[in-house]
Structure 1
Amino acid sequence: MIRRLAALLLTILMVPAAGAQEVLRTDRTEPGHLRPPFRAYEPPPPGHEPRLRRTESRAVYKLPQGLKGFATLDRTLSHLCQRGAFLQQIDGLYWAATPDYRYGVAFSGGANLIDPQNRRQPGKTYFFRNQDSRCEVWIGDQAKLMPHYIGG
């Protein structure tokens, strides 16, 4: 019995493993197989180029002491901004310069403001910081901010 086991073991060791003699090719099977399956951007056909709307940002307030004393953080509007329900139409189209940050500005009259739930209040200015999931919205009184208005 031991001889049979030894013979079987010797036979197994002597027979090469299946495919051991086959050499795998290292070159690519198809040169472009790593390209994406589609192009993310297809240019428009000739004569159908998109019309670009050119906008220039404009500083409207210069607040050397920051927002302190001029605006208060509104948690409800900040939460709506984080959800995309109270936003600037164009982020940073109007802005306020402070020593620490550059805040986006929108006005209660609707200038640069998207407000589908009609949360705006007359005579107010809205300051935006991080118009994304970290969005913060401050509300300031336009009459109080008027001495610092530099827009044209």
Structure 2
Amino acid sequence: MTRRFLTALPMGLLMAALLLPLSAGAQEVLPTDRTAPGHLRPPFRAYEPPPPGHAPRPRRTESRRVYALPEGVKGLATFDRTLSHLCQRGAFLQEIDGLYWAATPDFRYGVAFSGGANLVDPQNRRQPGKAYFFRNQDSRCSVWVGDQAKLMPHYIGG
């Protein structure tokens, strides 16, 4: 037994000698007062509470049909190529896809209004008095624009 202990002892000392410099460096901690304090926060917060004094706005999440268009959008809305390209890039779209929708014989279009209801428009491309009809809100997105006054006889929202 003593022979086995003596042969294991030099190997143990060798390992301790190799690991000693590594563990000494691990104990050194860099001070954080030299760096910007903002780097210590997480880069993304999933939820930020509203500022004091501001009650959160209630969100309506159930889907509502707002237009019944038995003839489709033809004659009531025109295809807009620029807004369609912006929608495909995510720069002009519905806040909640299909929150408001229009029923036609062929398709179901998502609807957003120029007043900002269900519309995400960071480049401020919306025009007053318009309703926007969305189809396939993804890389195939297409947007039609119609006058709200012209669409009013077909409005069924409440």
The normalised TM-score by structure 1 is 0.65
CA deviations 1:98-147 (Å, max 9, x no partner) are 00000000000000000000000000000000000000000000000000
Residue 111 of structure 1 corresponds to 117
Say whether 1:57 aligns with 2:56. no
Say whether 1:70 aligns with 2:76. yes
Alignment of 1:1-152 (within 5 A): 55-152=61-158
Q: Which has the higher helix share?
A: 2
Structure label with greater radius of gyration: 1
Name the SS of the counterpart of 1:128 in structure 2.
strand
Name the SS of the counterpart of 2:131 in structure 1.
strand
Name the SS of the counterpart of 2:117 in structure 1.
coil
Residue 5 of structure 1 corresponds to none
Distance of 1:54 and 1:105 partners within structure 2: 15
Unaligned stretches of 5+ in structure 2? Answer: 1-58
Q: How many residues align?
A: 100
CA deviations 1:33-75 (Å, max 9, x no partner) are xxxxxxxxxxxxxxxxxxxx66100000000000000000000
Unaligned stretches of 5+ in structure 1? Answer: 1-52
Q: Which runs of 4+ in 1 moved over 6 A?
A: none
Percent identity among equivalent residues? Answer: 88
When the two chains are superposed, the root-mean-square deviation of aligned CA atoms in Å is: 0.9
CA deviations 1:59-96 (Å, max 9, x no partner) are 00000000000000000000000000000000000000
